[in-house]
């Protein structure tokens, strides 16, 4: 078995994070062979439009190993984003090369705004694509044949993978590695990267915790993160009030005034959102998910889940496995997507 060749396309004013993140992920992917050696899963190649050095958006200089004209056969092609992709001549060159390479390449990946180059090929017409929320509207107007999704981290449609970019480029890289070599290899790598959680493509670009932190006053700024890290703990109004050094009555009043929802409603919504994600983890039992999000029994969890989500956990898991296979948007019977804004 040989390492799978992965090509990272370089150009002037490329996004450094979308180059280094996936590059490091594929480089570090290894499998122990049992004789104190490791199998290197991928051969990472950097491919420039030419062979000249490239200046990234943040000023770091990188030099490609090869030019795209002399690139070998590749298993996966990854095009990072960056403001340089909006240069019409550059984007056209990349699109022309991708169109020529697509029939003999297993996977083609567009990160962030590199969607502009890949979309020019026409290969994405009629397909679902994940686009960063900041330029989703412009992509939809420029390429009306695309099915634009602006609230997903990444999407697979056939051999094409599209991603919101930024830190989600690492999430997609881990997903690709899992696709090739299994969940344990990806999870080991995620631990090496010190990521809080290995996110799936269905995670929203604007997380509930970040939304809460952005909108919260200083006194509430970190409590949402603490709640997410402690879903199996006592999250009663009394416990949360004590953590913020307030009386329960004052905490509830200020919380509702700030976010337009009661603390108990927020906790319940966060628990159900996280439960939906954990139910989709392979080999996780309903009992273990219930305990992990703070329920004393699976029965109590099931009743609450059905009341807020609209399905029993077992029915949700069965239906979502079918939906995930088609990369459709998750149902939102209990709408966790609504902004927590002031009343």
- Which of 167, 192, 217 is the last residue in one of the domains? 192
200 domain-assigned:
no
Burial class (CB in 10 A: 0-12, 13-18, 19+), 222: middle
141 domain-assigned:
yes
Q: Which DSSP symbol is given to 13?
A: T
Q: Which DSSP symbol is given to 155?
A: E
φ, ψ for residue 31, nearest 5 deg = -130, 125
Beta-carbon count within 10 A of 204 CB: 19
How many structural domains are present in the chain? Answer: 2
341 domain-assigned:
no
Q: Are residues 27 and 176 in the same domain?
A: yes
Q: Are residues 307 and 283 in the same domain?
A: yes
64 domain-assigned:
yes
Q: Are residues 181 and 218 in the same domain?
A: no
Q: Are residues 169 and 291 in the same domain?
A: no
CATH number at residue 75: 3.40.50.880
Q: Are residues 122 and 222 in the same domain?
A: no
Q: Are residues 188 and 226 in the same domain?
A: no
Q: Which domain holds residue 165?
A: 4-192
CATH number at residue 279: 1.10.10.60
157 domain-assigned:
yes
pLDDT by residue for the chain (343 residues), tens digit each?
A: 799 999 999 999 999 999 999 999 999 999 988 777 889 999 999 999 989 999 999 999 999 999 999 999 999 999 999 999 999 999 999 999 999 999 999 999 999 999 999 999 999 999 999 988 888 899 999 999 999 988 788 899 999 999 988 888 888 999 999 999 998 888 888 888 756 554 554 555 445 555 555 555 556 666 777 888 889 999 999 999 888 888 999 989 888 887 778 999 989 988 998 898 889 887 789 999 999 999 999 999 999 999 988 899 999 988 765 444 443 343 333 343 333 333 2
Coil/strand/helix, residue 189:
helix
Coil/strand/helix, residue 157:
strand
- Which of 140, 167, 192 is the last residue in one of the domains? 192
Q: Are residues 245 and 280 in the same domain?
A: yes
Q: Are residues 286 and 186 in the same domain?
A: no
Question: Looking at the chain, how many residues does it have?
Answer: 343
197 domain-assigned:
no
- Which of 132, 165, 192 is the last residue in one of the domains? 192
């Amino acid at each position: 078995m040989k390492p799978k060749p992965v090509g990272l396309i370089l150009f002037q004013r490329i996004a450094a994070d979308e180059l280094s993140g996936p590059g490091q992920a594929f480089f570090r992917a290894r499998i122990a062979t049992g004789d104190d050696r490791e199998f290197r899963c991928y051969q990472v190649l950097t491919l420039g439009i030419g062979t000249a050095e490239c200046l990234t958006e943040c000023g770091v200089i990188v030099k490609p190993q090869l030019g795209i004209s002399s690139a070998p056969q590749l298993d996966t092609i990854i095009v990072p984003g960056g403001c340089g992709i909006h240069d019409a001549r550059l984007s056209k060159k990349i699109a022309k090369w991708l169109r020529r390479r697509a029939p003999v390449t297993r996977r083609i990946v567009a990160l962030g705004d590199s969607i502009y180059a890949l979309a020019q090929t026409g290969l994405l017409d009629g397909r679902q694509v994940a686009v960063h929320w900041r330029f989703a509207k412009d992509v939809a107007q420029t390429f009306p044949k695309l099915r634009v999704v602006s609230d997903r981290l990444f999407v697979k449609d056939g051999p094409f993978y599209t991603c919101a970019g930024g830190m989600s480029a690492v999430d997609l890289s881990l997903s690709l590695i899992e696709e090739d070599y299994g969940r344990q290899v990806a999870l080991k790598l995620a631990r090496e990267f010190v990521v809080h959680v290995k996110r799936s493509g269905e995670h929203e670009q604007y997380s509930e915790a970040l939304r809460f932190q952005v909108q919260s006053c200083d006194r509430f700024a970190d409590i949402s993160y603490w709640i997410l890290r402690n879903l199996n703990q006592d999250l009663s109004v009394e416990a949360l009030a004590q953590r913020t050094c307030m009386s329960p009555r004052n905490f509830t009043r200020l919380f509702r005034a700030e976010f337009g929802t009661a603390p108990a409603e927020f906790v319940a919504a966060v628990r159900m959102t996280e439960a939906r994600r954990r139910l989709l983890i392979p080999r996780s039992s309903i009992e273990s998910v219930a305990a992990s999000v703070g329920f004393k029994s699976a029965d109590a969890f099931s009743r609450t889940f059905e009341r807020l989500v609209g399905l029993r956990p077992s029915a949700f898991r069965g239906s979502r496995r079918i939906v995930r296979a088609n990369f459709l948007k998750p149902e939102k019977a209990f709408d966790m997507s609504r902004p927590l804004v002031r009343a």
